[in-house]
Amino acid sequence: MTGGPRPLSASPSALVDAHDVALMDLDGVVYRGSQAVPHAAVTIAAARDRGMRVVYVTNNALRPPAEVVRRLASVGVSAAVPDVVTSAQAAARVLAQRLPAGAAVLVAGGEGLREAVTAEGLRPVTTAGEQPVAVVQGFDPDLDYARLAEAALAIRAGAFWVASNVDATVPTERGLMPGNGSLVAMLRTATGCDPMVTGKPERAMHEESVRRSGARFPLIVGDRLDTDIESAVRSGTPSLLVLTGVAAPAELLRAQARHRPTYLAADLRGLLACHPGVVVTVGRAQVDGVPQGADVDGNPHCDDVVAVCGGWVAQVRDSTLTWR
């Protein structure tokens, strides 16, 4: 199996006891649109009672941290402003490291992005005529053609372009809606330029999250393979994928190595549970005392693979996957 898919990892103790901080995504993990994700609030409260700090790490640059705190309260989750890390903050920090204090930055995004830029000592502007030295773009459902056109003009004039994230979609109670990545693609087409991206899965976001949380043994918790889980793989951080948002089981089965989580759970209750190891057998094996991976004469099939994890059994036989 060298070079093949890695099985999920085992944790003999509950994840809440093995990690000091959960770097937790919001959309699709704690809430979907205005609706709470089932079991999220109760599980988060239980994790905090057992000593785990929960820090909410979101690629959504629209809302300032204080508004995120209020939104969490509306779905029954208690949090404080320092518990929230946004892609807007990561983008603004990158800009502040590259630009002089007071530099003009065209903000193609919402209040969360404007607030983060201001907090870093930079000056938000809205038009290319104000000669911004940089453009920062983040999710905003009210971002219209006129504002995108101003951003395109500034980028074409040489402004440094930063995108808070490139999530193609954002989960809502109605389903998946276009995300910031869809609008970034529009500006790419219009300008022929590529932005510097700071949100998940980029290292800038992870470093900002660890810096603000003080985590020593963090666990990344999320619902997206291409942001949350890839961020974990890139940074060498253990991860828990929950199936309450974007990622679906079929997508996970096809995932490349950079999108494979350390642990898997149906929802956030996986934080409070131990995670059994995966036993993989190639060729003839037995599951519940029944021979597996053999033809009618008892000869093993060369492509038969049986994987057992807790009460789940997955088998590839004659290139067909089945599970129970």
Helices (H), 192-275: 203-213, 230-235, 249-253
Of the candidates 9, 33, 14, the residue with the CA atom closest to the CA atom of residue 269? 14
**How far is the C-alpha of 142 from the C-alpha of 121, rounded, in Å?**
25
Q: Is 184 exposed, middle or buried (0-12, 13-18, 19+ CB in 10 A)?
A: buried
CA distances from 9 to 209, 222, 289 (A): 24, 17, 25
Instruction: Name the catalytic one among 17, 20, 25, 304.
Output: 25
Helices (H) and strands (E) in the chain, counts: 10, 21
**How far is the C-alpha of 145 from the C-alpha of 131, rounded, in Å?**
19
CB atoms within 10 A of CB 172: 16
Phi, psi for residue 314 in degrees, rounded to 5: -120, 140
Q: Does 25 qualify as catalytic in the annotation? A: yes
**How far is the C-alpha of 120 from the C-alpha of 103, rounded, in Å?**
10
**How far is the C-alpha of 108 from the C-alpha of 147, rounded, in Å?**
7
Instruction: Name the catalytic one among 27, 83, 167, 228.
Output: 27
Give just the sign of the alpha carbon dihedral 309, 254, 2, 302.
positive
Contact in structure between 311 and 279 (CB atoms under 8 Å): no
**How far is the C-alpha of 181 from the C-alpha of 137, rounded, in Å?**
10
CB atoms within 10 A of CB 148: 16
Catalytic machinery residues: 25, 27
